[in-house]
Chains A and B, each alone.
Chain A
């Protein structure tokens, strides 16, 4: 029997290596089963998934999709994926992953209209979080000895860098992601981490006033010259590779970047920390699972597909993830030992340990651009206008509100 597994992680070498290992383990445990692992890029997967799953042939047994209303939400609405509640209950998935993560990666109401609660339709195998990368060599030259633990300290460090003619923060805005991540982290630091889940939950159809304040801070950083010159020409990955090349004191990016490219002698100078909040002991980050795994309604081998998903998300898979430098979504304190004893170093080690901190004492908060089907597009356009000086912070919030308000109202109406 051949189990067709469709992934959208094309290009992520570390993840794919771990999947290859787990696939052969799964085959060994299921004699007679052969896994056909189809790898697509993220865009290829998402632009064709709905049509593929609604067809009568060529439907994979297991597939990845994307969080949010326009991907997993639409698949649920159209009845194209199976309800995973029975498998989740039988295998106690709620003990496996933190509730917030499980909810945002794969829970929807049965009509697909409300994200983050209801039944389980998908589950992620690995996790990622957005934080702050720091170049310790640059920091040392500037006389900065420790990583910032509060937002005020971060601003202070950036001011020192600017005063010494160094680049405080590497930034690329052409795809809009990096300024948005920075905005979300500032929003949490200026209010409380839970503000992000409040927004995605849509309990109020009006965005909080703190959005304007956070936008103002972002714009101030820009006006103070804390960001890269010509940032609007670079994407987040352009900016990140420049940072790894040695430019800039900080960059805001995600744990999916580890292990960093290059020899250990050069990557050892980077550390990855949680973005500093208002107080030093507050631990929070924008976090999510990797693309969630779901079972198509027309999956030819649904039973085996369920076993597959259950396997790759189980604690038994963790050592394979960690060995490949990935953060398993189901990591618990026990697996921290694995991470410490394995050869992870530098920011790869940071990525795992901070994740454990978040799990145990911190807040994992969602990307608010999932709030409506069009919110990412709206936010990207608006944040580019904000940083390009074409929108004031309050006009920025109004543009977001014009998208957010009607959707939330209609959803509850």
Chain B
């Protein structure tokens, strides 16, 4: 406490007479204990007081994210309806995820969605970005905005729009029969084979804009000299992409993958509004099961176990992605 007033009075002179103030800050400031030259913080290094600035946000984080997470881990070992007495069941809730084919299928569906939510938008965005980086396009800002727009729209609104688009008498089917593909129209979201890919393509549509904006920003910071050098070396469009654009974008690609894979794995709103896991169990995903178990069936322990497994999966996949991103350098 004694240090505090000293530290605050220093704040003024620090700006006016920097060298002197710096010296005083070290003596009377946040690092009084060290004394030796080693512990002397470099200017601009964080001081311990920084933790106090962090505290309010950290407290909120602990209260609303960390503590519920830890509590969920605890709950996942119980059979509990949310109110009454809890019964300890060990790992039974986790075993069910492995043993029960419906729960297992939900995780498989989530991985199928990764292709549509993550792989496809990233590939498409790379293609678009490499085209954009090579040529001047009129109205680029307008294109960028239009492509980014789906990401800004609320997922529920997206779902409602697509339900209309994909309805049996809707525009998508209308277009298909108008161009002569009479055998293709079908109730997409009610079709056992096509419901999951349909939901997936909606994800592609939503996340393409995000992927593109992030990659475009990355491309703009690649020095044009590199492209010039590549061209002088006789590189065509493919080698320019392969040797300059792709390596230059590896961090952005990792970011895009982390964001989109997470979106794929925790997908709930679009499924909830469009299919509720149907037809049959063909579009069930872990997040929807968490909701269904906790709020419809009243099996809070099972829901917690599903949630924890999903969170763990997201962490593992994202660690892998960032690891790969680093190895690629």
Contact = CB atoms under 8 A, between A and B. Distances in A.
B171 to A, nearest CB: 14
B280 interface: yes
Interface in B152-192: 166-169, 186-192
B84 to A, nearest CB: 4
A137 interface: no
A70 B299 CA distance: 9
A74 B280 CA distance: 27
B187 A70 contact: no
A232 B186 CA distance: 10
Interface residues of B, number: 28
B187 A230 contact: yes
A362 B263 CA distance: 53
A384 B187 contact: no
Interface string A383-409: 011001011000000000000000000
B interface, by DSSP: helix, strand, loop or mixed?
Answer: loop
Contacts of A264: none
A147 B277 CA distance: 37
B101 to A, nearest CB: 11
Contacts of B297: 70, 373-374, 377
B218 interface: no
B204 interface: no
A50 B167 CA distance: 36
B81 A78 contact: yes
A85 interface: no
B293 to A, nearest CB: 9
Contacts of B298: 50, 70, 74, 373
Contacts of A325: none
B83 interface: yes
Given A47-B295, A78-B83, A374-B297, A233 B277 contact: no
B275 to A, nearest CB: 7
Interface residues of A, number: 31
A328 interface: no
A229 B168 CA distance: 8
A80 interface: yes
A interface, by DSSP: helix, strand, loop or mixed?
Answer: helix
A388 B292 contact: no
B192 A390 contact: yes
A144 interface: no
Interface stretch (A56-64, A151-159, A172-180, A188-196): A172-180
A237 interface: no
Most buried by B among A78, A374, A388: A388
A174 B189 contact: yes
Contacts, number: 88
Most buried by A among B82, B187, B192, B299: B187
Contacts of B275: 174
B87 to A, nearest CB: 13
B278 interface: yes
Interface in A15-46: 46
A281 to B, nearest CB: 38
A174 B278 contact: yes
B296 interface: yes
A231 B187 contact: yes
Contacts of A123: none
B14 interface: no
A47 B291 CA distance: 9
B76 interface: no
A78 B84 contact: yes
Interface string B102-119: 000000000000000000
B198 to A, nearest CB: 10
A230 B186 contact: yes
Given A50-B81, A50-B83, A381-B281, 19 more contacts: A47-B296, A54-B83, A74-B83, A77-B81, A78-B81, A78-B83, A173-B190, A174-B276, A233-B167, A233-B168, A233-B190, A373-B297, A373-B298, A377-B297, A384-B278, A385-B192, A385-B279, A388-B192, A388-B280
7 contacts: A50-B83, A51-B82, A70-B296, A78-B83, A230-B167, A230-B186, A232-B187
Q: Which 10 A-B pairs have the closest CB atoms?
A: A232-B190, A230-B168, A233-B187, A385-B280, A230-B187, A384-B279, A78-B83, A47-B295, A233-B190, A78-B84
